[in-house]
Amino acid sequence: MWIEVINIHQKPILLGYVYRPPNSNADWVTKFETMMLKVDTEEKETIIMGDFNIDIMSSKKHAKWSHIKNIFNMSQMVTEPTRVTKTSSTLIDHVYCNLPENINYIAVPKYSISDHYPVCISHKRGFKTKKQIHDYITYRSTKYFNETDFIHHLSQCPFDSILEIDDPDEALLSFINIFTEVLNHHAPLIKKRVKHVYQNQWINDEIKEGMKKRDYYHKKKDTYNYKFWRNKVKYLIENSKQNFYTEVLEQEKGNSSKLWKHLHNVNGSEKSS
């Protein structure tokens, strides 16, 4: 079941409630993945909650479920057991979201009228929010990557165990999990705050190198060299912009929509009037 929460001051949120029967087979996970493919195309903040009957606190591997969670960039937020009996303690009620930074907190109160504890979440949603200045990107850092060490590490992995798995889907997921674990060790994923997700097309290697030198001398408090490279970078940017847009506008003379799009980029206007 899905509900779309609409606020005129913010983008909509998709809220989903899921129940997975305890005796469900692997086909349920496949259907869930199909549903998530449709949801993912909406490109909206998504929160999914419910009784999944998958104990993520147990030592039992849930390779396919973990894979689906990762490919849709969903974070599971609940960390406490949600069903406690005299003989067991399991975490089977989950909350998944693709923007975990928007969740203030999650609580699992220790009372219930059933055999499950309730799961409560608090969202940062309000009627007015400050405009977000920065965006975030995720990338693999190869700063300390060593090809020899990476290959040696892979050679020590138990890839032979995959041959014992009859299900081809499970075998593939097992390979991906082993390989990803090694890759994360040598080239970890890093989240970085940036002002712009996409780099301007007129930025070239010469400008990047000039920016590095400008920032270097700024940190060193070398006023003379800082001012020199600051002015040099300004000149390089202006020159690169002029050459880029002159060439683009010349190429797009016959395409009015693209021509106007580039003209708006030049003058900074987002309106078509």
- Regarding pTM above 0.85, the answer is no
Cα 219 to chain centroid, rounded = 31
Which runs of E-coded beta strand occur in the chain? 2-7, 10-19, 45-51, 75-76, 83-84, 89-90, 93-97, 103-107, 120-123, 135-140, 189-194
Question: pLDDT band at residue 9, thresholds of 50, 70 and 90?
Answer: low
pLDDT in tens, 177-218: 999 999 999 999 888 877 666 677 788 889 989 999 999 999
CATH number of 2-123: 3.60.10.10
Domains of the chain, residue spans: 2-123, 135-194, 205-267
pLDDT tens for 240-264 read 988 888 887 777 777 776 667 666 6
Residue with the larger pLDDT of the pair 129 and 158: 158
